[in-house]
């Protein structure tokens, strides 16, 4: 397979052209023939114009790329090495939503040929590739793994907004359904990933490695979030405590905050789901999730307490939330916990504005039914800086106070302004 790809006799197809799939497709397209497939026709049209809907890549990233963007399954049929990079979210009950990945499996099954490869990159629970996706491939295609085609799993490790740790600079885990599959998959990825590849002994091991990466980070942040609740009652700054503790060589420096997005706030639920299926009730993972999920409620209650202490009626107050994306310097709003904070504040009858110059207002309206301001207004009783976008980091406290009424309150969830002079306002941070 690898040599045929090198000789451009066979094509690579990337199914799903979001934050994960698009950079990968373009990386391969610098050396090989690639089909970029997405069911979203609007997205495909933008990509054909060298426009990244996620605004992560500039037009120059599309130059010299041998790639055909399409939503046509017949074009997809021309490929032989299929990479699945579709989202794997959770539903409103925190249960894994496999519809995108199972749908992609069904689509690929319709075009699968003898000798083809199918590699999954989407984050799943251990066993999902072989137990959930593979049967669909076999049933739809009428082919059998091992004898007719091969599968593998290579978890994505893309960090949106990170211009240093790019896709080709991060070690790539690969796995395959048999020894030959592993060798071929390893060769294909290894030819474009400068950091190299790590060959996992099985697909399940590779799946598990990915899901625990984000689960571990989720737990570390939950510990800091719990500490921030405790230290708030003590009247001390959590970040100051962390800086002091970090003077020891083996202290892990994590910070409190809202934990959302399509990875850290989601992946632990995949592990929880599989654990429950196997008859085990995880304690530590679930506890971490509960702490992180309760942070919007904690922050909202804290603001109410501060407003009352300032002789302000929360129901008559106007509040600005700065930032709605799940992290700084990206446009991605998936699973944003800022929305949860908004709902908590609205429950106290506050007038709440959300401003975010990075996010797409139409997308926010469609996804959450919220009106997004591209720029802040004025006359606010309090401002909550929820996301540490570059522009917000460059602001001074005077710019914020100019947007506020007398006795202004600043809730700095990311600690952006922690080292500035706070005499102009009431300052609070996680």
Residues acting as catalytic residues? 263
CB atoms within 10 A of CB 121: 26
Of 43, 44, 41, 34, nearest in space to 13 by CA: 34
Rounded (to 5) percent helix, strand, coil in the chain: 40, 15, 45
Residue 266 corresponds to which tokens in the numbers above? 């989601």
Based on its alpha-carbon atoms, the radius of gyration of the chain, rounded to whole angstroms, reads: 24
Closest CA to 155 of 194, 119, 105, 179: 119
Q: Give every CB contact of residue 239 below 8 A, 6+ residues apart in sequence.
A: 255, 415, 418, 429, 430
Between vectors from CA 73 to CA 72 and to CA 74, what angle results, nearest 5°?
90
**What is the secondary structure of 113-151 as a DSSP string?**
-TT-EEEE-S---TTHIIIIIHHHHHHHH---BTTTBEE
Nearest Cα neighbor of 359 from 55, 19, 12, 27 is 55
Q: Hunting for tokens 């999902």 — which residue is that?
A: 128
Among the residues of 235-294, which ranges form H helices? 238-245, 267-277, 284-293
Report CA dihedral (238, 240, 243, 247) to the nearest 10 degrees.
Answer: -110
Burial of 201 (0-12, 13-18, 19+ CB in 10 A): exposed
CB atoms within 10 A of CB 372: 19
Angle at 98 between CA 141 and CA 323, to 5 degrees: 135
Contact 173, 198 (CB under 8 A): yes
Q: Which residues of 13-49 are buried (b: 16+ CB within 10 A; e: fewer)?
A: bbbbbbbbbbbbbbbbbeebbbbbbbbeeebbeebee
Q: How many C-beta atoms surround the C-beta of residue 205 within 10 A?
A: 14
Q: Which tokens hold the place of 324? A: 């709605």
β-bridge mates for residue 13, sequence order: 35, 82
């Amino acid at each position: 397979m690898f040599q045929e790809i090198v000789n451009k006799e066979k094509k690579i197809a990337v199914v799903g052209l979001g934050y994960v799939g698009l950079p990968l497709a373009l990386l391969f397209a610098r050396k090989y023939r690639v089909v970029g497939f997405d069911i979203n026709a609007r997205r495909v049209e933008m990509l054909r114009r060298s426009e990244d809907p996620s605004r992560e890549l500039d037009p120059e990233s599309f130059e010299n790329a041998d790639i055909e963007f399409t939503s046509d399954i017949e074009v997809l049929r021309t490929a032989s090495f299929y990479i699945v990079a579709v989202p794997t979210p959770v539903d409103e009950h925190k249960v894994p939503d496999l519809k995108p990945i199972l749908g992609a499996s069904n689509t690929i099954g319709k075009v699968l040929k003898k000798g083809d490869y199918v590699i999954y990159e989407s984050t799943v629970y251990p066993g999902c590739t072989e137990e959930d996706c593979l049967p669909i491939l076999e049933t739809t295609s009428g082919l059998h793994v091992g004898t007719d085609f091969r599968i593998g799993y290579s978890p994505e490790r893309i960090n949106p907004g990170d211009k240093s740790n790019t896709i080709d600079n991060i070690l790539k885990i690969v796995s395959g359904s048999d020894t030959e599959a592993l060798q071929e998959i390893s060769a294909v990825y290894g030819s474009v990933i400068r950091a190299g590849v790590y060959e996992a002994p099985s697909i399940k091991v590779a799946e598990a490695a990915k899901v625990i990466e984000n689960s571990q980070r989720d737990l570390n942040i939950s510990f800091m979030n719990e500490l921030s609740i405790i230290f708030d009652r003590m009247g001390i700054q959590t970040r100051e405590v962390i800086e002091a503790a970090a003077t020891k060589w083996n202290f892990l420096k994590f910070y409190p905050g809202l934990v959302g997005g399509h990875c850290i706030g989601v992946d632990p639920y995949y592990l929880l789901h599989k654990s429950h299926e196997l008859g085990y009730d995880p304690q530590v993972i679930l506890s971490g999730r509960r702490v992180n999920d309760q942070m919007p409620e904690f922050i909202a209650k804290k603001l109410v307490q501060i407003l009352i202490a300032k002789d302000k009626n929360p129901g008559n107050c106007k509040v600005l939330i700065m930032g709605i994306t799940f992290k700084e310097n990206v446009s991605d709003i998936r699973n944003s916990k800022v929305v949860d904070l908004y709902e908590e504040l609205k429950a106290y009858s506050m007038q709440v504005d959300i401003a975010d110059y990075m996010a797409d207002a139409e997308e926010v309206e469609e996804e959450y039914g919220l009106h997004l301001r591209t720029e802040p207004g004025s006359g606010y009783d309090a401002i909550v800086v929820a996301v540490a976008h570059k522009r917000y980091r460059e602001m001074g406290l005077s710019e914020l106070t100019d947007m506020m009424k007398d006795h202004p309150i600043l809730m700095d969830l990311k600690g952006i302004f922690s080292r500035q002079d706070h005499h102009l306002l009431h300052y609070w941070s996680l």
